[in-house]
Structure 1
């Protein structure tokens, strides 16, 4: 069986598909969400999920969270005396989900479809796949989170063509994807996003308000444990604000109780910068798809961040329509990944759909540009496959050697949007011998 996994910044979860449809797999505690937190004790025993989250309050120096944001980077997290990359920490979360699935389903689980933000670059996607392999899984496919959510919502089940926008605000990332459906093809038309904007940022707004109102509390003088306690209090306050409006934030600092009354309107005003950042990928996705807001037939909300009242209100006003929230935003991606797994297994109970995706970033190569009068400048970026090109794709460009009788050329394959080669991600390079001339 191929399970579907939503490897999230804040929470992760798994799902499977049977003849009755997709189902969330509860973890060993009977809960549907597993916090993406890892902790280790002095005997090198590892903990994942809620237990690790609880340990993080007591032993913050041997615990880690929100590491998905560093997937594919060289950053190391120190847990006690050992160091781990985000890729390695993610493998612990994936292994825990794998073990929970095996316990619940009563069979060995060796294959999975794992979701990633649509705006993850090649390095981050490969790191996610390696994390799955470290966890003992054969990763059948890395699927973009909005595409998985679209599958879960059954956007491919309508008989009429439609243009859908999936707004995915998770714990640490934002994806905006526009999908065209013309039976039986579900085509990703454009994606845009922000890998450093999510529900965590709305929590940090409350933290900043807390420090501004309590000037006698200096952040740099607090222990890591106290910082985590304040962060947890801010997280709880964010949820209460969304449910009840005004509330009071309560926490302990230097063994003293500290409170802060918080007005919903003040909080929303403080979040205006985040809402401005949300507008940017929305506009970019629409522009790349050559569409207007009025062209969108349906808006779907995905990700825990979209459960915030302010976010839902903002999206409703932005698109002049009430978004579809018929599926739990926390679960849509995992359910869609499970359906994709069933499609790969060709289960008879599922309707086949042709999925097409796009290249989220421009692909090109490094070139030398002639500026005139025999002057050349190297280090320029030449785009070949533009971002949001439907893949697979093939493009041809003609280049010339710099010097006469040059026998070799080096081709650097790059990914990114900057005009300068050094500012883009290098995917690889190759050296090719060419005929002199």
Structure 2
């Protein structure tokens, strides 16, 4: 195990000061458990990094990583704004009591219903992704006699070193206005001419789970070069997110200060010889705020040994609560909750209960002896576990608990089998 973990006085895994195996006994498994103190510390680290430069900035939590009422409440209590990508996330923000002026709305195919919801809710910024959306938003804003603040999402043609499924900044992307073809500049002219849209600046995003600063520097430089070429002084440059975290010993994350220092320096240097006011710099971290804060707890089932091949260790969850390993070969580490630092004696494949051969949570998990009923913890699952969970095989979604200062609270209740059929209607055929 290379990821540091917290333990109680008996050396058992602890989450926010609460013993993990006790959480499992009280709330059942599978269980998403979050250390709220880690979430707070991560937001504060980004804010402190910007504050050191004395620049105008916004840290917007990327809601897609993990969106619940409680999560939004914690984020805004630490001074973060929200970046949402759906009507459901907007409604969640409303239910959480978020100041909607501090919400931005991203996405490449926002429906009319979602745009109307955003306008009626008074969202601060809509990040426009394409010309169809730009035209439609102008029409919808005009019908409401409002002027909506927007950013234009640019495809900066900067490729991040990450999995192809989570690369978003390259020219061949479904996201954003293409630069080389002239789409981006045409959109700038159209946005400036739209009477019911107020263009604040540009947005870009190059991907996720990125460990090198160079991609972000190239992204910032591309935006600087664009606004200079267009002679357009933006009020905001939004560099998106994608800052990597540690899942295994192969991951080498860098502190927020290195990312922030590089972004601020690139923009300040690139615009130093203009007479423009330095634009506000926005970022949208999601995974790097919640990823390491979350741990998923499972109950061990039986094993299947195939001599000379492998040993499967089963658990009571799987791809329904964490699709990332099956979707793009994401890797994790696992520990025994009551013996996280015990010597490892075996390498097993941690297999889920779903009816798919690809339902593998950890391909090579180094563990001590495991017996049925042990609580297994998969680390750093706070991002894109719950948010991408499914009802595959008609399994209920796990509960979510927040742990802080030795106290645990359910913030999403566990679904029941009855919940699974609550929206079903019988087929009536004469």
TM, length-normalised to structure 2: 0.25
TM, length-normalised to structure 1: 0.24
The structure whose residues are more often strand, as a share, is 1
Larger relative contact order (C-alpha < 8 A, sep ≥ 6)? 2
